[in-house]
Structure 1
Amino acid sequence: MNDLIERARQFATQAHERINQQRKYTQQPYTVHLKNVAEKVATVSDDPEMLAAAWLHDTVEDTLVTFEEVDRLFGPGVMRLVMDLTDISKPGDGNRAVRKAIDRRHTATACPRAKTIKLADLIDNCDDICRHDNRFGPVYLVEMTALLEVLREGNQELYDQAETTIKTCQEILNRSTPQPLTGSDLIDFGPTDAAIAPNRGMRLFTELFTARDILEPLVSFDEQTDLSEVAIVCQERSLPVIGVRKAGWVVGYLHPDDLQGANLAQQMRPIKSQQVLEMDCSLSDVIKVLTRFANCFVALSGSVVAVISRGDIDKPIVRMWLFGMITVLEMSIVDHIKARWPADEWTAVLSTQRLTRARLLFEERLRRNQGCQLLDCLQFSDKAQIAIEDPQLLADLDLPSKRAAKQAIKNLESLRNNLAHGQSIVKHDWPQIARLTQRVQLLMVQAGATDPSPAQPQ
Structure 2
Amino acid sequence: MVNIKLFNDYFLASHIAVPLLTVNNQDTHDIIRMFFETYNFNVVGFKEENKVIGYLDREQYDYNSNTIEESLISINTSDIVAANTPLVDIFALMEGKERLFLMSDSTIDLLITKADLQKPPVRMLLFGLVTLLESEMADVIRVHHPSGEWKNLLTEGRVKKIEALYEKRKEKNIEIDSIDCTQFADKKTVVLEDTSLRENLFTSSKKSAEKWMRKVELLRDDLAHAQSLTNWFETENTVLLVIEIQKMIHKLGLQKFEKIISK
User: What secondary structure is seen at the aligned counterpart in 2 of 1:428?
Assistant: helix
Q: Note if contact 2:92-2:239 (Cα within 8 Å) is conserved in structure 1.
A: yes
User: What secondary structure is seen at the aligned counterpart in 2 of 1:298?
Assistant: strand
Q: Distance in 1 between matches of 2:53 and 2:21?
A: 13
Q: Distance in 1 between matches of 2:85 and 2:168?
A: 44
Q: Distance in 2 between matches of 1:440 and 1:413?
A: 11
Q: Which residue of 2 aligns with 1:435?
A: 240
Q: Note if contact 1:214-1:312 (Cα within 8 Å) is conserved in structure 2.
A: yes
Q: Note if contact 1:323-1:416 (Cα within 8 Å) is conserved in structure 2.
A: yes
For residues 102-125 of structure 1, give each alpha carbon's deviation from its aligned partner in whole angstroms, at most 9, with x where no partner exists: xxxxxxxxxxxxxxxxxxxxxxxx
- The alignment covers a number of residue pairs equal to 248
Which residue of the other structure, out of 370, 375, 385, is the alignment partner of 2:189?
385
| Pairwise CA distance, 1:324 | 1.3
Which residue of the other structure, out of 195, 199, 205, is the alignment partner of 1:401?
205
Q: Which residue of 1 aligns with 2:85?
A: 281
Which residue of the other structure, out of 148, 167, 173, is the alignment partner of 1:369?
173
Q: Which residue of 2 aligns with 1:159?
A: none
Does residue 236 (structure 1) correspond to residue 41 (structure 2)? The answer is no
Q: Distance in 2 between matches of 1:417 and 1:210?
A: 24
User: What secondary structure is seen at the aligned counterpart in 1 of 2:109?
Assistant: strand
Identity of aligned residues (%): 26
Q: Distance in 2 between matches of 1:441 and 1:333?
A: 13
| Pairwise CA distance, 1:445 | 8.8
Which residue of the other structure, out of 29, 35, 43, is the alignment partner of 1:227?
29
CA spacing shift, 1:283–1:227, aligned 2, 3 Å: same
User: What secondary structure is seen at the aligned counterpart in 2 of 1:292?
Assistant: coil
| Pairwise CA distance, 1:305 | 0.9
Does residue 295 (structure 1) correspond to residue 93 (structure 2)? The answer is no
Q: Note if contact 1:218-1:243 (Cα within 8 Å) is conserved in structure 2.
A: yes
CA spacing shift, 1:444–1:364, aligned 2, 3 Å: closer
CA spacing shift, 1:355–1:236, aligned 2, 3 Å: same
Which residue of the other structure, out of 201, 214, 218, is the alignment partner of 2:20?
218
| Pairwise CA distance, 1:292 | 2.5
For residues 302-321 of structure 1, give each alpha carbon's deviation from its aligned partner in whole angstroms, at most 9, with x where no partner exists: 32110011211222222222
Q: Note if contact 1:275-1:295 (Cα within 8 Å) is conserved in structure 2.
A: yes
For residues 400-456 of structure 1, give each alpha carbon's deviation from its aligned partner in whole angstroms, at most 9, with x where no partner exists: 11222222222222222222222211x212236423432455579998xxxxxxxxx
| Pairwise CA distance, 1:346 | 0.9
User: What secondary structure is seen at the aligned counterpart in 1 of 2:2?
Assistant: coil
Q: Note if contact 2:130-2:245 (Cα within 8 Å) is conserved in structure 1.
A: no
Letter in 1 for 2:93: V
Q: Which residue of 2 aligns with 1:256?
A: 58
Q: Note if contact 1:284-1:441 (Cα within 8 Å) is conserved in structure 2.
A: no
Q: Note if contact 1:222-1:244 (Cα within 8 Å) is conserved in structure 2.
A: yes
Does residue 423 (structure 1) correspond to residue 204 (structure 2)? The answer is no
Q: Note if contact 1:224-1:265 (Cα within 8 Å) is conserved in structure 2.
A: no
Does residue 321 (structure 1) correspond to residue 116 (structure 2)? The answer is no
CA spacing shift, 1:396–1:298, aligned 2, 3 Å: farther
- TM-score, normalising length: structure 2: 0.83
Which residue of the other structure, out of 303, 307, 310, is the alignment partner of 2:114?
310
Q: Distance in 2 between matches of 1:284 and 1:378?
A: 28
CA spacing shift, 1:277–1:338, aligned 2, 3 Å: same
Letter in 2 for 1:281: T
CA spacing shift, 1:248–1:393, aligned 2, 3 Å: farther
Q: Note if contact 1:202-1:440 (Cα within 8 Å) is conserved in structure 2.
A: no
Letter in 2 for 1:428: N
| Mapping 1:132-171, distance limit 5 Å | none
| Pairwise CA distance, 1:265 | 3.6
CA spacing shift, 1:370–1:282, aligned 2, 3 Å: same
| Pairwise CA distance, 1:200 | 1.8
| Pairwise CA distance, 1:242 | 1.6
User: What secondary structure is seen at the aligned counterpart in 2 of 1:257?
Assistant: coil
Which residue of the other structure, out of 329, 342, 346, is the alignment partner of 2:146?
342
CA spacing shift, 1:391–1:204, aligned 2, 3 Å: same
| Pairwise CA distance, 1:327 | 0.8
Which runs of at least 4 in structure 1 moved beyond 4 Å after TM superposition?
A: 440-447
Q: Which moved more, 1:322-331 or 1:224-233?
A: 224-233
Q: Note if contact 1:223-1:265 (Cα within 8 Å) is conserved in structure 2.
A: yes
- TM-score, normalising length: structure 1: 0.50
Q: Note if contact 1:227-1:259 (Cα within 8 Å) is conserved in structure 2.
A: no
For residues 345-385 of structure 1, give each alpha carbon's deviation from its aligned partner in whole angstroms, at most 9, with x where no partner exists: 11121122222221121122123322211111111011012
For residues 8-55 of structure 1, give each alpha carbon's deviation from its aligned partner in whole angstroms, at most 9, with x where no partner exists: xxxxxxxxxxxxxxxxxxxxxxxxxxxxxxxxxxxxxxxxxxxxxxxx
User: What secondary structure is seen at the aligned counterpart in 2 of 1:252?
Assistant: strand
CA spacing shift, 1:351–1:259, aligned 2, 3 Å: same
| Pairwise CA distance, 1:386 | 0.9
CA spacing shift, 1:436–1:377, aligned 2, 3 Å: same
